[in-house]
Structures are given as C-alpha cells and as structure tokens.
Amino acid sequence: MKLVQTLALCSLSFWGIAQTDLHRMVDEGADAVNDQVVEWRRDFHEFPELSNREFKTSEKIAQYLTELGLKVETGVAKTGVVGLLETGKPGPTVALRADIDALPVTERVEVPFASKVTTTYLGRETGVMHACGHDTHTAMLMGAAKILTGMKDNLKGRIVFIFQPAEEGAPPGEEGGAQLMVKEGVLKKYDVDVIFGQHIGSYLDAGKIMYKPAGLMAAANRFTINVKGKQTHGSQPWSGVDPVTVSAQIILGLQTIVSRQMELTKEAAVISVGKITGGVRNNIIPEEVEMVGTIRTLDKDMQTQIFAAIERMATNIAEASGATAVVEISPGTMITYNDLELTADVVPTLYNTAGEDNVILGRATTGAEDFSFFANEVPGFFYFLGGKPAGSATFAPHHTPDFYIDESGLKLGVRTLSNLTIDYLMNN
C-alpha cells in the first residue's frame, strides 16, 4: 500500500511541478509560518469572543486575508469571513473551514496569554475562553492560507477559506453558524466541490491524526422540559404540587431511555440535563421548573425513538404526580458524516503528511460539530488533530476551565490542511 501511494504521488505533476515537490514547499512554508501561527493563536486566545460576537476576531482575519491578496467577503452569517484564492487555471474548488468563536468559561490555565475577558451571558457574569481550541483552528487556517497563496502559480482551481462564527451555537433567538452560512449560499456561491475541516483534541497526542469514515460525530439536539405544578408554602407540600420532585423523577427516568430502551450495540447515545431552574427562596415550593439538556445520537432511527421516549416519559411522570410537562426539542446539528469515497481518497495524504504510524482509525464520538451542515451539502472530510503534550498521562476535557493545547501540534495541522487541498486539486 505504501509503495502504491508513493508511486501515485510521485508520478502526478502539474505545470512541471511534482506533487512531492509541492509537499516539500508546504513543509518549508509551515516551518516559516509556524511562529506566526503560534502568535495568532495566542492573540485569539487572550482576546476571545462569544458566538455571533466575534467582531474583532473577524476584523483581524479579514485584514490578513486582504494583505494576502485574496478576495475577501465579511459579514457572512453575521460575523463570518470568507477568502477566495483564484489560481486562474481550471480545476475543482476546495473549501477549508475553521470556527472562530469561544465559550462562556472562566480560564484557570496559567499561561501568559490566558484570557481575562469577562462578559454577561444569559444574565450571568462569566469569563470568556477558547476552551475548545477554535483559536488554534483559526490560526492554522490562516497559516494554510499563507502557504497556499504563495503556491498559487503551481496550483489549479480555487480555494475557499471559510472562517465560521457561532459553531458553539448562536445566542437564543438568533441564527448563526454553519447552518446560516449554508442558508446564505456560501457553498453554492463559490461552487464548492469538497470541504475539509479539522478539530484539535486535548486528549490526542500532538503529532497524531484520528479519522473515521462515515459517521464521525453525533447529532446534537437541545431540549427543554417545563414542569408546572402548584405553588405552596414549603412547610405544607401537600397543599400544592411540587415540580421540583417531579423534575428529579423525570431526570432519573431520562437516564433509563438510553440504558434500557436503546439498542446500544448499534450506536451510542446520550441524554444529559445540564441546567435546572426553579424557585426563588428556601421555603416556597415553586409553580414551575425548567430543565435544559442535550441529546446526542449517531443513528437517525435511534434519534426518532429517543425524541418520542423523552416526550412520553416526561409527560407521564408529571401526570402521575398531578403536574404537567411540556417538552421542546430543537433541530440542532446533524451527524458529522465523512464521505466514504472522499475519505478513501485522502487517507494517503494523511499518511504522507503525518506518517502512517501517527494516523489512527478511530471510533465515533458523541461530541457534535456544525461542520455537519457543510458536509450535508457537498462531500466533506473532518478529522481530529492531536493537541496533548506527547507522553502526558492526563488532560483536561474540552469546555472546561483547565483546557490546554500543546502548540507543537499546530504545524501538523497547517501541513495537513495544505496537503489535503493540494492533493485534491492536483488529482481531480
């Protein structure tokens, strides 16, 4: 297999430049731009912005893409930026995507560029942190843009650099993210043939790449359950209907849907309640309680079953106690699906970029990505890039105050984005 892949890459050329020479140019470019990529990453990390509020982040990106000589479009899906590289020669159009938003998390990592930004989110004071690595995604795509722009004369086709806002979800009442970009026609406008994306992982050793054909990441759906009882004095619960205890029973019941009603040998699934709100003081049983949570599924039939089971369980438990429950499930993201043919085509690029021993065929994860909206429109390939210090036995999960990324892994991300683009343009 290695010999076939090597021969294929060595034998193909365009305008007299072999692809192996192009890969060498990428390696040299990645070495040259690495310090700048790290600098960009630290700047974005120190000054993070929440979903649909990435104003300064977008300005920095747009300014740099303009300096590269790209055709730049701003205000895409509110705060998104798109850069277009035209080689002037016929060929396919490849899109590369990075997400740019941060999270309402207060950072605890002791680094010189730690975020000190605070804001009010959903009525609560909180810190703002790139606790999922979107700062690295943005910096790496900017690095790839510099390399590929410098190689313009040796390439064919077009490259679209998509810097997407609001991957973590738009604020309540707003649209945003990849779904809004698709709705606004960003893929059709640029006639995109395929799209590539990557996600850094604090759990995966720097220098490693993990991928999976077909379903890679779960669909994510937000749900709310409003339980209404009858308010009364805390000393006389029999005079009312307690929505707090009903909500507790519903939460416990929800956990049996996955463990007792789903065929878990088929695919994984998760139901988690992340927020519960009700009451104003200790001696008043409130009239209402609201629960908010997430549903993660990797199979459409199981998703349908889970939606129905949540509705059935919540309403029946509430009714049994004399309360009522109203369930609302938001559309959410789709399953992040790696096109089978495209995946088979790009695996040799992963091997040649990272080394075959550093490329891992992984399993599906119950994490979710709105890259799924892009990959639902055109063939897409999404993979995980290592960001954990090699050999470290521990790591902090994503979306936590202690989330940490080893910047030594960023160069591989820049090289991989660049080589995926070059190989697809040259081979198609």
| C-alpha span between 231 and 165 (Å, rounded) | 42
Q: Is 302 helix (H, G, I), strand (E, B) or coil?
A: helix
Q: What is the CATH number of the domain that holds 297?
A: 3.30.70.360
pTM higher than 0.85: yes
Residue 16 is predicted with a pLDDT of: 53
Q: What is the CATH number of the domain that holds 151?
A: 3.40.630.10
Residue 219 is predicted with a pLDDT of: 97
- Asked if residue 282 and residue 358 are part of one domain, the reply reads no
- Asked if residue 153 and residue 243 are part of one domain, the reply reads no
Domain that holds residue 309: 219-329
Q: Ramachandran region of residue 70, left (φ > 0), alpha (ψ -120 to 50) or beta? A: beta
DSSP label of 121: E
- Asked if residue 261 and residue 282 are part of one domain, the reply reads yes
Last-in-domain residue among 329, 346, 374: 329
Last-in-domain residue among 329, 354, 381: 329
β-partners of residue 197 are 97, 382
Is residue 92 within 8 Å of 193, Cβ to Cβ? yes
- Asked if residue 313 and residue 264 are part of one domain, the reply reads yes
Number of independent structural domains in the chain: 2
- Asked if residue 111 and residue 260 are part of one domain, the reply reads no
- Asked if residue 279 and residue 201 are part of one domain, the reply reads no
| C-alpha span between 2 and 370 (Å, rounded) | 34
Residue 315: its H or E element: helix 300-320
- Asked if residue 233 and residue 95 are part of one domain, the reply reads no
- Asked if residue 379 and residue 241 are part of one domain, the reply reads no
- Asked if residue 174 and residue 226 are part of one domain, the reply reads no
CB-count exposure of residue 195 (10 Å: 0-12, 13-18, 19+): buried
- Asked if residue 10 and residue 77 are part of one domain, the reply reads yes
Q: At which residue do the structure tokens 């209907």 appear?
A: 241
- Asked if residue 273 and residue 129 are part of one domain, the reply reads no
Is residue 168 within 8 Å of 222, Cβ to Cβ? no
- Asked if residue 344 and residue 322 are part of one domain, the reply reads no
Q: At which residue do the structure tokens 């991928």 appear?
A: 211
Last-in-domain residue among 276, 296, 329: 329
Residue 14 is predicted with a pLDDT of: 47
First to last CA, the chain: 21
Residue 17 is predicted with a pLDDT of: 75
Spell out the per-residue pLDDT of the chain, length 428, in tens: 444 444 444 444 444 578 899 999 999 999 999 999 999 999 999 999 999 999 999 999 999 999 999 999 999 999 999 999 999 999 999 999 999 999 999 999 999 999 999 999 989 999 999 999 999 999 999 999 999 999 999 999 999 999 999 999 999 899 999 999 999 999 999 999 999 999 999 999 999 999 999 999 999 999 999 999 999 999 999 999 999 999 999 999 999 999 999 999 999 999 999 999 999 999 999 999 999 999 999 998 999 999 999 999 999 999 999 999 999 999 899 999 999 999 999 999 999 999 999 999 999 999 999 999 999 999 999 999 999 998 899 999 999 999 999 999 999 999 999 999 999 999 99
Residue 12 is predicted with a pLDDT of: 45
Residues classed as catalytic: 101, 167
Q: Where are the beta strands (DSSP E) in 229-309?
A: 232-233, 269-278, 284-285, 288-297
